[in-house]
Amino acid sequence: MVTETGQGRERAFDAIILIVIDLLMLESAFLITYWFRFYSGFWLVPLGIPPLSLYLSVSALILLIFFSIFYGSGMYTLRGGRTLVDDLLGLFKGVVLASLLVLALVFFLKVLAFSRSFFGLFFLATFGFLTLGRILARAFLRSVLHRGGTGIRTLVVGTSPMRARLLHLVRELPGFSIQPVGWLSTPGDIKLAGVDRDEGQASVLDASGRRKPRPETAEIPLLGEVSEVRSVVVEHHIDLVVLTVPFEQLPLIQKIAGELSNLNVDLQFVPDLMALHTSRMRLKDIGGIPFISVREEALSGADRIVKRTFDLMASGLGLIFLLPLLLVLGFLVKISSPGPVFYRQRRMGRDGREFDMVKFRTMRSDAEQKSGPVWTTESDPRVTPVGGIFRRYSLDEFPQLWNVLRGEMSLVGPRPERRVFVEEFSRTMPRYFERHRVQSGLTGWAQVHGLRGNTSIEDRTLYDLHYVENWSLALDIRILLMTIHHVLRGENAY
């Protein structure tokens, strides 16, 4: 008999809180917009003030439309797997779609006189109100209902290389409220927690080309063997079981699914992508037959047109609006140390084509005269005082908007490297050059996860390949929003 656990009821209550706050914020935006449009005095009302009752009846329909769209897009499910950035992007897309549907409805209801300016103001206000609501809802759920931020209680099974990446994600990704309670060993495990099965996974290649120990992942206790999975799930009130086992242990999926029958617990499998030399697997349904896609074209022709159009518009507007700031930054570089304002360096972009990447100069003019091409290190003596501030907040990268406008770079993509480093890393990592299947970027999926500066090239490559194989315009926008947060943190910025 299936019974609902306390955690199951808690997750249902989480969804209720999110729904109620979204509806309250929408109604608040509606009422404030009504007052602002008809009673504030900022707008003329030549036809008189329409009755509030008429607008309230329409607001009920609007709330239903917004709720249906948010519910259909999964805004009230899998809370533990959604970050605040995910919520904001979901809200933005939902507001745009709901606004179009409401405007179409108002257009067809011509028998009733509605103020078009009212609806325009309302749609502008909704995203701000909903964003505030989501921030308050998350704070309430975290501090009041889930004291200490418990999240989704998760049991990990196995020790494939993906296990370390999962635990690293749990530790590093803000808002990812999965809580690993412990792990279970399998007959194929030959090492204990915190160390991957592959010998090469115990260390990583840093940006200087040296091997160094892999950063520790979040410590979780060993709770037993996989044969004890049912009793462990019941004893520790597990919400989610995650299998991180290699492909040769796939029969365990069927076995564990049988053991967990009649229990209200989710079961998910994280495939060993490293073994397949890919960064993602995608499920397709063709004529009722499931296909698992392991590798696809990076960007289609239409994708490249959309991405390039977005780059042109954003970089052009960026250069126009940032021109006063660029002049000030250039002046600071000029007076800080002898030498040119801009620094040009040959980098390798898409398909191995080289170009001159432009940055504000942050080092002495003779920085590599004796050492040759080397990576910048923390507290590097070659960096000027002004250059240190520029690097801390990535101000030196602004001139690359010119590279984007010229089509040599993109706003988002794998960061370009010099040929000497590309050749070196390609010898040790066969898939490294696949980063160049798309245009290089000012910022990227690896950088917004803290992988910049003298960090692991292997981890950085995996994140870059994930971006290459999962590109979308929404992902680009998400990365740009995350970049603002990480630039302010200044992690590994030197």
Compute the C-alpha angle 310/311/312, nearest 5°. 95
pLDDT score, position 103? 79
Name the percent of the chain lying above pLDDT 70: 76
pLDDT score, position 4? 46
- 308, part of any domain: yes
Q: Is residue 57 located within the same domain as residue 84? A: yes
Per-residue pLDDT at 78 exceeds 60: no
Q: Of the given ranges (134-143, 321-330, 414-423), which has the lowest mean pLDDT?
A: 134-143
Q: Rounded mean pLDDT of 336-343? A: 87
Round to whole Å and give the CA distance between 478 and 69. 20
Q: Rounded mean pLDDT of 400-427? A: 92
Please report where in the chains the tokens 């000027």 appear, as a residue: 384
Q: How many domains does the chain have?
A: 3
pLDDT score, position 269? 87
Q: Rounded mean pLDDT of 260-279? A: 78
Mean pLDDT of the chain: 79
pLDDT band at 145 (very low <50, low <70, confident <90, very high): low
Q: Is residue 134 located within the same domain as residue 188? A: no
Q: Is residue 163 located within the same domain as residue 140? A: no
pLDDT score, position 173? 59
Residue 131 CA from chain centroid, whole number: 17
Q: Which pLDDT tens digit goes with each residue over 163-221?
A: 887 887 777 655 566 778 888 988 866 544 444 333 334 444 444 445 454 444 447 88
pLDDT score, position 198? 39
What pTM did the predictor assign?
0.56
Per-residue pLDDT at 148 exceeds 60: no
Please identify, among 241, 276, 311, the residue that sits at the C-terminal boundary of a domain: 276
Q: Rounded mean pLDDT of 48-77? A: 85
Q: Is residue 137 located within the same domain as residue 261? A: no
- The pair of structure tokens assigned to 42 is 């900022």
- 290, part of any domain: no
Please identify, among 101, 121, 145, the residue that sits at the C-terminal boundary of a domain: 145
Q: Between residues 290 and 256, which one has the greater pLDDT?
A: 256
Round to whole Å and give the CA distance between 220 and 226. 16
What domain range includes position 428?
301-489
Q: Between residues 299 and 455, which one has the greater pLDDT?
A: 299
- Residue 409: exposure state from Cβ atoms within 10 A (0-12, 13-18, ≥19): buried
Per-residue pLDDT at 285 exceeds 60: yes
Q: Is residue 268 located within the same domain as residue 310? A: no
Residue 279: name the closest of 415, 429, 432, 465 by CA: 465
Tell me the Cα Rg of the chain. 26
Q: Is residue 47 located within the same domain as residue 66? A: yes
pLDDT band at 375 (very low <50, low <70, confident <90, very high): low
Q: Rounded mean pLDDT of 135-146? A: 73
pLDDT score, position 247? 81
- 295, part of any domain: no
* C-alpha neighbours within 13 Å on the C-beta side of residue 357: 22
Q: Is residue 263 located within the same domain as residue 164? A: yes
